[in-house]
Each structure stands twice: as C-alpha cells, then as structure tokens.
C-alpha cells in the first residue's frame, strides 16, 4: 500500500504538483484509517491531504483516474464485463457491450437514459459505447483523442441534444416558452458533458490497461493554465486562460490594495500620540504614526494587436485594467501599423472583455497594409501624444518587435525614457527568439528601462505586481 501511495505521489510531483513530505505522511496516515474499499472516499481523502489548491484539482483528478484506473473492483478492462449492475435494469435480459446491442439500440438506450437524467446508466452505456465504437486495439500507437473522436462520431452528441430538445418541446402543449427552452438546453448540455466525460474516462482506463499508467500519464500531461504559452495556446487553452485570469486579477487587486494601505509607517504623529497617552496617565505607551500616502503612478499601455500577439495584448490589458484602481490613470493605445487611443472604450464599459471585443471594430489601427510597423506606430504616438508623457508616467509597450523590416524609430523609445518615469517592453516571445528574422527586440530593449520575456500568466503576473 505504501509503495503504491509513494508511486502515486511521485506521479503527482511529475505532473507539477508540489507535495511536501509532511503532506505525504498525512496521506499515508489517512489511508491507513480508511482502507481502500470505498473508491470515492479514498479519492476524497487523498485529495484533502495532498492537493491544497483548487487550481490543481483537475490535475490531481487526471492523475488519480489514470493511476488507479484499474484498481477498483468494478472496472474490468475486457469488454465482456461492460454491463455493470445498472444496465440490468434496462430490460431485455442479457446484453453485452459488444454483441448484445446493435448500434441503434445502444444509441436509443443512451438517449432514454440521458432524457431521464439517470447518471448511473449513462456511465455504463458510455462504457459500452467505447467498446463498440472506438475500435481500440492493443498496442496501437495512437493517442486517446483518436479513440474519443471515433466514439463521439458514432454517438453523435449534437443529434442527441437535438432529439432531447424535440422531446422536451412536445411534452408540453404548444410551443415551449423561451425560458423553459433555455433551462432544458442547459440541463441537457450538462448531461451530455457528463456522458463525454465518462467516455473519456473509459478510453483512458482502457489505454492504461494496455500501456500502463506511467505511459498514459505522460501523454496526458498538460501544462497548468498559468504556464501556457500565450503565442501557442489552443482554443481550449485560451478559454482556460480566460477563466484563470479573473481570479488572478481579483487576487492581484486585493493584494496590491492591501500593500498600499499597509505600507511602512510614516513619520510620528505627535498630536495623536499625546492624545492617546492621556488614557495612560500621560505616558505615551502607544506611539502613533502618520499614514503614508504613496503616489499612484500613471500608466500608458501601447499594445501591438496584430494577429500573432493579439492574445497576449488582450490578457495584459485585462490585467492592467483590473487593477486600474492602483493607478491614477490608465491610458491605452493599440496599433498594427497605425495607432489609436482606446482609453474611452475601456472607460465607457464595466466589462473589460466586451471592451476588448469592440477595440477591433472601433479603433483605427490599419494605416497601409495591416502588417505590424512599430516604427510608424511609435512615430505617430510621439507626434500626437508625446507631450502628454510626464515624469509620473510609466509607459509599457507590448509586442514581439517583429517589424517586417521597416525602420525602427527606436529614438522615440529612448526619448520617452528620458521624459517618462519608466519605459518597459514586454515581449511574448522566448528570449532565445529575439533578434531572429525580422525581430529587432534588442534594439528596442536597449532604449528601454527594461525588456521582459512575458510568455505566460505567471510571468505577466510577476511583472504587473512589481509595477504597482
């Protein structure tokens, strides 16, 4: 048991979770208290002792399901046992994942179970569906997504959703009110998500049976949301990033607000000290200090929003605006080869996401051909807004500095630096790519107070934190 546990903890550590020694000891103690009969309890207990942050829960879930995939009593890898107790209630006596049911019958049963919201039956049918449709073969070197795709093509989730909606509509008399329709759709979607999840889990179980947990865990390993590269994020990863950024901004905002208020003591407040000493008979027991009032910096963000770096600009702007209360003023400018101020778009709406969406429609950022031209954009910035940059302004320039071989106008950055408090450059490319091809990152970097590589949320967070 202990060996198993320490192997499992090793797998968690490989997946990027920090599990300390004392936590491992706790887990061992806890497991010795409960035994391993109850799988759900076992999982809850391991989760409570080993995973101390909800952000890591998905990773834990995945590792657990891979690692203990075949160690529960109810999971038999061979298709012949694919009908667990629940499916016996489906009638028609003996049927089996492989031969008892035809394709249509299985889909029909699945549809009935989904409609009734019977989670247990759905799970067992998902298992049957995998053994029937996925066509898994031992030792075949394809990933789990291939099997998932094959199964889902046959199960046809969209078709099922459509049929369930039709049934829901025909249940009442007359057409369904819009609200009920929406509620039904939401409920169906969550049931279909459950089905999809079950199918994925079943495929994973079978893969583990075929290749062993270590190999599967390796292929399934995903980076944590805050480590995902902005430039190469897939659509799902971008969605995960968007979800991750909201709690992050809130955390950052409250952390900064606290730091501002709890800054170091100011000078002695003589009046208050004497006033409070009266209750101790004139002995100044508690000295009082003035509250310091640190000045708030002004921020100007100049962001390249051409295709390659748009996602990066988006996240940075979102982060900066979320903590805008920490700055006296935030102004934002976007460019591709032309440049435009978009501050008004952000100030007019309390939803940063919406404002970002409207930037593309409202800002005039195309000058000639819609390819990045840092030189021209910077020059126009200097001509139009240069005089407004004051000694209290922090200028942040976002971009990969891929200038399409136009002139650099690095003198603008250098002049800004003499005029502003700081000029920083955030580059979403890894440092090793700088100055390759048409990138002139180090020419700009030399003119700035600092140029940072900012490839993922973690690096971005660190930068914004030190900014305020």
Partner 1 sequence: MGTEAAAERLNFSSAAAVAQGLEGVGYLADPATPAVVWLGQRLGKPVLVEGPAGTGKTELAKAVAAMSGARLIRLQCYEGLDEAKALYEWNYKRQLLRIQAGRSQAGRSQAGGSQAGGSQAGRSQAGRSQAGGEGWADLEEDIFSEEFLLARPLLEAIRATDPVVLLIDEVDRVEVETEALLLEVLSDYQVSIPELGTMRSTQVPLVFLTSNNTRELSEALKRRCLYLHIDYPDIERERRIVKARVPGIANELAEQVARVVASLRTLDLHKHPSISETIDWARTLVLLGTDSIDAEVVRDSLHILLKYRADIARATKELALP
Interaction pattern, residues 239-268, with partner 1; x per rule: CB under 8 A: --------x--xx--xx--x--xx------
Cα–Cα distance measured from residue 312 to residue 193, given in angstroms and rounded to the nearest whole number: 30
For 263, the 3-state DSSP assignment is coil
Q: Are 320 and 301 in contact (CB under 8 A)?
A: yes
At how many degrees (to 10) do helices 144-155 and 213-220 cross? 80
The one-character DSSP state at 299 is E
Nearer to partner 1, 44 or 274 (CB): 44
**Could you give the count of Cα atoms lying within 13 Å of 214 in the half-sphere of its Cβ?**
3
Cα–Cα distance measured from residue 178 to residue 166, given in angstroms and rounded to the nearest whole number: 14
Q: What does 18-50 look like in DSSP terms, one character per residue?
A: ---HHHHHHHHHHHHHH-SS-HHHHHHHHHHHH
Give the range of 39-47, 96-104, 334-342, 393-401 binding partner 1 by CB under 8 A. Answer: 39-47
33 binds partner 1 (CB under 8 A): yes
1 binds partner 1 (CB under 8 A): no
Q: How open is the CA angle 89-93-98, to the nearest 5 degrees?
A: 95
446 binds partner 1 (CB under 8 A): no
Q: At its nearest, how many Å lie between partner 1 and the CB of residue 75?
A: 19
Cα–Cα distance measured from residue 387 to residue 134, given in angstroms and rounded to the nearest whole number: 65
What is the distance of C-alpha 232 from the center of its chain? 14
Of residues 1, 4, 41, 278, which one binds partner 1 by CB under 8 A? 41
Nearer to partner 1, 142 or 183 (CB): 183
Nearer to partner 1, 94 or 262 (CB): 262
107 binds partner 1 (CB under 8 A): no
Footprint on residues 274-313 left by partner 1 (CB under 8 A): 280-281
Q: At its nearest, how many Å lie between partner 1 and the CB of residue 307?
A: 25
Q: At its nearest, how many Å lie between partner 1 and the CB of residue 350?
A: 6
Footprint on residues 168-197 left by partner 1 (CB under 8 A): 177-179, 182-183, 186-187, 189-190
Nearer to partner 1, 21 or 138 (CB): 21
Q: Are 204 and 144 in contact (CB under 8 A)?
A: yes
Cα–Cα distance measured from residue 373 to residue 369, given in angstroms and rounded to the nearest whole number: 10
Cα–Cα distance measured from residue 116 to residue 121, given in angstroms and rounded to the nearest whole number: 10
Footprint on residues 11-30 left by partner 1 (CB under 8 A): 18, 20, 22-23, 26, 29-30
Per CB under 8 A, residues contacting partner 1 are 18, 20, 22-23, 26, 29-30, 33-34, 40-41, 44-45, 47-49, 51-54, 57, 177-179, 182-183, 186-187, 189-190, 247, 250-251, 254-255, 258, 261-262, 280-281, 350-351
């Amino acid at each position: 048991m202990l060996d198993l546990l320490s192997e499992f903890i090793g797998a968690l550590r490989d997946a990027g979770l920090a599990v300390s020694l004392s936590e491992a000891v706790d887990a061992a103690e806890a497991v010795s208290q409960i035994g391993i009969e109850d799988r759900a309890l076992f999982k809850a207990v391991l989760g409570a002792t080993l995973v101390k942050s909800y952000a890591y829960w998905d990773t834990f879930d995945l590792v657990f399901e891979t690692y203990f995939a075949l160690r529960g009593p109810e999971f038999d890898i061979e298709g012949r046992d694919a009908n667990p107790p629940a499916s016996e209630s489906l009638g028609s006596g003996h049927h089996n994942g492989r031969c008892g049911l035809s394709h249509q019958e299985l889909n029909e049963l699945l549809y009935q179970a989904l409609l009734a919201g019977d989670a247990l039956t759905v799970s067992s049918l998902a298992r049957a569906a995998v053994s029937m449709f996925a066509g898994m073969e031992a030792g075949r070197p394809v990933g789990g997504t291939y099997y998932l795709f094959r199964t889902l093509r046959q199960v046809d989730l969209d078709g099922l959703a459509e049929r369930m909606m039709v049934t829901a509509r025909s249940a009442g008399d007359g057409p369904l009110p819009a609200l009920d329709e929406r509620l039904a759709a939401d409920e169906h979607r969550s049931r279909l998500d459950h089905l999809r999840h079950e199918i994925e889990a079943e495929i994973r179980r079978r893969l583990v049976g075929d290749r062993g947990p270590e190999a599967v865990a390796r292929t399934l390993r995903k980076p944590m949301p805050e480590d995902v590269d902005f430039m190469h994020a897939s659509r799902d990863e971008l969605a995960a990033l968007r979800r991750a950024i909201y709690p992050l901004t809130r955390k950052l905002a409250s952390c900064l607000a606290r730091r501002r208020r709890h800054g170091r003591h100011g000078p002695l407040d003589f009046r208050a000290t004497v006033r409070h000493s009266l209750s101790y008979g004139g002995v100044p027991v508690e000295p009082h200090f003035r509250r310091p009032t640190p000045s708030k910096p002004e921020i100007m963000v100049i962001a390249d929003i051409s295709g390659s770096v748009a996602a990066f600009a988006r996240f940075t702007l979102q982060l900066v605006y979320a903590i805008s209360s920490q700055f006296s003023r935030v102004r934002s400018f976007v460019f591709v080869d032309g440049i435009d101020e978009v501050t008004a778009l952000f100030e007019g709406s309390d939803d940063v996401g919406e404002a970002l969406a409207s930037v593309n429609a409202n800002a005039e950022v195309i000058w000639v051909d819609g390819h990045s031209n840092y030189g021209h954009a910077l020059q126009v910035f200097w001509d139009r807004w240069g005089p407004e940059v004051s000694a209290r302004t922090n200028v942040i320039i976002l971009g990969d500095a891929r200038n399409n071989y136009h002139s650099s106008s690095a003198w603008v950055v250098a002049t800004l630096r003499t005029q502003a408090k700081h000029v920083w450059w955030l580059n979403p490319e890894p440092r090793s790519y700088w100055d390759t091809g048409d990138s002139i990152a180090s020419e700009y970097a030399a003119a700035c107070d600092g140029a940072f590589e900012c490839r993922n949320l973690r690096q971005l967070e660190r930068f914004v934190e030190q900014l305020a």
